[in-house]
Amino acid sequence: MTAAFIFPGQGSQAVGMGKALADAFPSARRVFEEVDAALGERLSDIIANGPADTLTLTENAQPALMAVSLAALRVLEEEADVDLKRDAAFVAGHSLGEYSALAAARSLSVADAARLLRIRGRAMQKAVPVGVGAMAALLGLEIDDARAVAAEASDVGVCTAANDNGGGQVVVSGEKQAVERAIEIAKARGAKRAMLLPVSAPFHCPLMQPAAEAMAEALKTVEVKPPIVPLVANVLARPLSEPAEIVRRLVEQVTGTVRWRESIAFMAQAGVTNFYEVGAGKVLTGLVKRIADGATGTAIGAPEDVEKFKAARAHV
């Protein structure tokens, strides 16, 4: 098996995402209905129609992105004969996308993933008062240099490397004054660009500890099964299949670094040549091309993407 199925994280959301899939395929509609039922509200209306600022709220964006990813996967399963157990060597997801990956691999139910992501989104937002935290993208610095920048900036507050996205793109997270200091230091050390990100909270840093504790409690309320395909975990960049360890790493992930570059590199070194980004946007597809030489990245989030996937499989 030379394929991995990967699932996007926050920032990939857009009003109308998944709507064409839901309009075209009953299997996609059923996923949105399942998520609505699990949350006790019509999140599907916000996904389809907005407004954008409501969709972008962390507590909405996280379950919404999972819903679109699982809707797209169900269409692939029903229309293109995709069987993850047969067709995938690994699954992985960027931050909240890890929950999408686990639902895809039948480790979590879609309903449980939706409820957990609603709790996760609310807990992450609540952990730090608005305006106290920040995140910044440092472009043109590799992870070791970015960690050194964050360590120096920590003199004025919490600052850590939150996302190692690959291709010289590292995101730092922490207290606003420390993150702003990291931007200054990064520019002085030769970063091509360094800028604050439009986020509502400082994700994947120690300030998120209250949210990690909330997720530890929430995860006790759901059944986590062994995934049918190994999950390459964000905080380890290696595969997991044992439910208790998956839970432990999901809790760590709230405050830990998303080791995306290493995760893609691990899968490529294990023989994966085709990465399918299932859901909204094409962010991960772009990163794959920067990280894994010779690998192909394909985004699948609309009916025409499904048709192209089917056509490509027919020619194999």
* Catalytic residue IDs: 95, 204
Query: What's the CA gap between 160 and 171, in Å, rounded?
Result: 9
- Written as one letter, the residue type at 138 is L
* Residues forming a β-bridge with 170: 138, 164
Residue 96 Cα to chain centre, angstroms: 4
Residue 191 Cα to chain centre, angstroms: 25
**Token output for 104:** 């895809």
- Written as one letter, the residue type at 279 is G
Report how many helices (DSSP H) and strands (DSSP E) the chain contains, helices first: 15, 10
Percent helix, percent strand, percent coil in the chain, to nearest 5: 55, 15, 30
178 φ/ψ sector (left φ>0, alpha ψ -120 to 50, else beta)? alpha
Q: At 194, phi and psi to the nearest 5?
A: -150, 120
Q: Are strands 274-278 and 3-7 parallel, antiparallel or unpaired?
A: parallel
Q: What is residue 63's three-state secondary structure? A: helix
Q: What is residue 147's three-state secondary structure? A: helix
Query: What's the CA gap between 176 and 202, in Å, rounded?
Result: 9
Query: What's the CA gap between 22 and 69, in Å, rounded?
Result: 12
| Prior bond of 51 cis (ω within 30°) | yes
| Residue corresponding to tokens 């691999």 | 105
